[in-house]
Amino acid sequence: MSNKETIYNKRMKVADLLASDGNLLSILQRLDIRLGFGEATVADLCTRYGISAELFLIICNIYSFREYQPQVDSLGENDIKSITTYLRASHRYYTSICFPTIHNSIHLLVKELDEVSRKLIDKFYDDYDNEVSNHFRYEEDVVFPYIESLFVKGDMKKYSISQFEHNHSNIGEKLNDLKNIITKYLGEEYSNPLRFELLNDIYSVENDLRKHSLIENKLLIPLVEKLEKQYEQKG
C-alpha cells in the first residue's frame, strides 16, 4: 500500500481506528494512553497526551500497512522525544511480555525433546536472548542518553547517530532460524499444539520487531541526523 492510500487521519475517531485494526491497541499501551476516550478523535487524543497527531498516525500506518514507508517531512524536534519514549516502552513490552511468553513455551516444548534437540534449542534461544538484551541495553545506555544530551546542551559527546546506524543489527533475523528449527527439523512425534502456539508468538514478535526497526531507521535516525547538522552549523 502506498502512503497516499492509507486511511487514517486526524479527524477519525480513535474507536474507529481501533476497529479497523485491533493490533493498534499495543500502540496505545506503549504510549501510556488510557482506554475510555469516548468519541475522541485522533487529534483530540494526541492533544490530551501531548503527542503530535502526525507522529501518531505515522506509527499507526507502520503497524497497519506492510508496504507503508514513513516520511519525516511533517515531523520536528519534539517528535524525537516521543519516538524515544515509544521505543523505550517497546523494549519493556518485548522484555516483560513477548519474550517471557516465548521462553515459557520453549521451556515446555523442550521437555518433550530428545537431549540433542533440547540442547540445540536451549542454546539457540539463550544466545538470542543475550543478543536482544545487549541490543536494547546499548540503545538504553548509549543511544537514547546521547539523543537527550543534544536537547540539554547540544553536546555531541564524540558520538553521532551514524555510529548507531552503522552498527544497528536486525534482532529479528535470528527468529527466522528458530522458526525453521521448530517447523522443519523437529519430528512429527512432538506436540503440534504447543509448536503452533509457539510459532504464532514468534511470528507476532518478529513482525513487531520489524516495525520497531522501521521506526528507528526511518524516523529516529533521520530526525537526529537533522538535529546534529543544526548543532554543527551553530558551532
Does any domain span residue 17? yes
- Spatial distance between the Cα atoms of 177 and 80, rounded to a whole number of angstroms: 33
Does any domain span residue 206? yes
Does any domain span residue 70? no
3-state SS, residue 13: strand
Q: Let me know whether 153 and 227 are in one domain.
A: yes
- Spatial distance between the Cα atoms of 224 and 235, rounded to a whole number of angstroms: 16
- Spatial distance between the Cα atoms of 184 and 130, rounded to a whole number of angstroms: 24
For the chain, count helices (H), then strands (E). Answer: 12, 0
pLDDT of residue 3: 47
Q: Let me know whether 126 and 42 are in one domain.
A: no
Does any domain span residue 72? no
| Domain-ending residue, one of 37, 64, 91 | 64
Per-residue pLDDT of the chain (235 residues; tens, 9 = 90+): 444 446 799 999 999 999 999 999 999 989 889 999 999 999 999 999 999 999 999 999 999 998 898 989 999 988 999 999 999 999 999 999 999 999 888 888 888 788 888 888 888 888 888 989 999 999 999 999 999 988 876 565 678 898 887 766 677 777 888 888 888 877 777 767 888 999 999 999 999 999 999 999 999 999 999 999 887 776 5
- Spatial distance between the Cα atoms of 120 and 181, rounded to a whole number of angstroms: 9
Q: Let me know whether 47 and 100 are in one domain.
A: no
What would the grid cell of residue 144 be?
A: 537514547
- Residue 70 near residue 214, CB atoms below 8 Å: yes
Q: Domain count of the chain?
A: 2
Q: Let me know whether 98 and 176 are in one domain.
A: yes
Q: Let me know whether 60 and 85 are in one domain.
A: no
Range of the domain at 32: 3-64
Give the predicted TM-score (pTM) of the model. Answer: 0.88
Handedness of CA 213, 216, 219, 222 (dihedral sign): negative
- Spatial distance between the Cα atoms of 59 and 23, rounded to a whole number of angstroms: 12
pLDDT of residue 185: 74
What would the grid cell of residue 67 be?
A: 508496504
Q: Let me know whether 86 and 157 are in one domain.
A: yes
Q: How crowded is residue 224: how many other Cβ atoms within 10 Å of its Cβ?
A: 23
Does any domain span residue 163? yes
CA proximity to 21, closest of 188, 211, 192 = 211
Q: Let me know whether 36 and 131 are in one domain.
A: no
Q: Let me know whether 170 and 57 are in one domain.
A: no
Q: Spell out the residues 6+ positions from residue 173 whose beta carbon is closer than 8 angstroms to its own.
A: none
